[in-house]
């Protein structure tokens, strides 16, 4: 299985970002961080890059369960979702696959939480 799952959509970049945020909210996630990769690369390296946004999403009940099972899990939180513009009429949305990332930890208590988060993140992407 891949470390992410994704979907291509026929929306403008701004529409895709808005739809991801809306879908995340419906699944109980808040967006804790927003990184505008394009603007950051322009500012730090003076290079041009396509519109690319990283959204750090968190579902508090699941984060709490994960922290109870593994106190260093915060190093892998929040769940990142990207929106990147592929063309004027198409964007890609991709989310981390929490089941794959939790394999690196080796704590079986995290599997159930990761499965639930995976289902919700897949639902977010599928709904767009």
Whether the per-residue pLDDT at 1 is higher than 90: the answer is no
Q: Which one, of 74, 28, 30, lies nearest residue 55 by Cα?
A: 30
Contact 53, 17 (CB under 8 A): yes
Cis previous bond, 78, omega within 30: yes
Q: How do the residues of the chain divide into helix, strand and coil, expressed in percent and rounded to 5?
A: 45, 30, 25
Q: Domain count of the chain? A: 1
CATH number at residue 55: 3.30.310.70
Q: What is the pLDDT of residues 23-41, one digit of tens each?
A: 999 999 999 999 999 999 9
Please count the residues of the chain. Answer: 128
Residue 104 has pLDDT above 90, yes or no: no
User: Across residues 1-20, what is the average pLDDT?
Assistant: 95
Tell me which residue range forms the domain holding 66.
4-126
């Amino acid at each position: 299985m891949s470390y992410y799952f994704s979907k291509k959509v026929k929306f403008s970049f701004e529409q895709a970002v808005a739809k991801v945020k809306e879908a995340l909210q419906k699944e109980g996630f808040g967006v804790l961080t927003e990184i505008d990769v394009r603007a950051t690369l322009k500012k730090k390296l003076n290079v041009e890059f396509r519109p690319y946004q990283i959204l750090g999403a968190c579902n508090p009940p699941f984060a709490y369960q994960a922290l109870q099972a593994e106190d260093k899990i915060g190093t892998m939180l929040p769940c990142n979702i990207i929106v990147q513009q592929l063309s004027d009429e198409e964007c890609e949305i991709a989310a981390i696959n929490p089941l794959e990332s939790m394999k690196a930890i080796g704590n079986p208590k995290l599997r159930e939480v990761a499965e639930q988060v995976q289902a919700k993140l897949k639902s977010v992407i599928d709904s767009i």
